[in-house]
Amino acid sequence: MRRWRDGGLAVRLPDFSTRSRRSSASPGETALLGAGFLALALAAYVASSGWADLRVARGALETERREAAALSEKVRALESRGFREGGLSNQALLTAEAPPPRVLTDLSALLPADVRLDGIALTYGANLGIEARVVARRAASYDLFLKRLTESTAFGGIVPGSENRQGQVQASVQMVYRGAER
């Protein structure tokens, strides 16, 4: 603003000049401005790399979806050829999931001390069928074995077969193996 003297009084009038006034920034302000530009550039880089990662992830997801669709189509084709429940694939799967040592271990865990397996037959089909021949010293021990067997989640479809309770008990039991107890 300019000052004019008019009759001894100083009057302040606004300065409407067209020349620009250059304000000088302090070194601290310049450093802050530079840091701001640097932060802006870093944020732009991170955002662009994030978008690139998103495009790559979407491409990978689409590839996985195509592969899953192709595999499900193969499964449908195999099922239509007769590889349904009870087929060769199910038998192979049962054999892998329930090998004889595992089945014997699970069944032996249910045997009381004076009961033993005299023989066992495993039939891999739609289910794993078991026919066990059991020998027990006492009838009460055999009954305890049947009770444990029916309460077990690893075995189902229990059908007691022929029994001989003269002296020691000799019996056969048929069942279906459902899987290891958890």
Cα dihedral: 159, 182, 87, 84 (round 10): 110
pLDDT of residue 165: 84
The answer to whether residue 163 sits within a structural domain is: yes
The answer to whether residue 7 sits within a structural domain is: no
The answer to whether residue 18 sits within a structural domain is: no
Of 81, 101, 118, which one is at a domain's C-terminal end?
Answer: 81
- Per DSSP bridges, beta strands 9-13 and 2-6 are antiparallel
Three-state DSSP class for 131?
strand
Distance between CA 24 and CA 118 in Å, rounded?
Answer: 103
Cα dihedral: 114, 120, 123, 127 (round 10): 0
The answer to whether residue 100 sits within a structural domain is: yes
- For the stretch 97-136, pLDDT in tens is 667 888 888 888 999 999 999 999 988 777 788 999 999 9
Q: Please tell me the total count of domains within the chain.
A: 2
The answer to whether residue 13 sits within a structural domain is: no
Using alpha carbons, list the distances in angstroms from residue 13 to 1, 2, 5, 18, 22. 6, 6, 11, 15, 20
- For the stretch 47-62, pLDDT in tens is 999 999 999 999 999 9
Does the pLDDT value for residue 3 go beyond 60?
A: no
Same domain, 129 and 76: no
Closest CA to 165 of 140, 148, 131, 145: 140
Same domain, 74 and 35: yes
Same domain, 134 and 152: yes
Same domain, 135 and 101: yes
Element (H or E) spanning 4, and its range? strand 2-6
Same domain, 108 and 40: no
The answer to whether residue 68 sits within a structural domain is: yes
Same domain, 62 and 98: no
Same domain, 161 and 115: yes
The answer to whether residue 17 sits within a structural domain is: no
Distance between CA 134 and CA 118 in Å, rounded?
Answer: 5
State the residue range of the domain holding 138. Answer: 90-177
CATH of the domain at 158: 3.30.1360.100
- For the stretch 28-51, pLDDT in tens is 888 999 999 999 999 999 999 999
Same domain, 71 and 142: no
State the SS3 of 55-92: HHHHHHHHHHHHHHHHHHHHHHHHHHCCCCCCCHHHHH
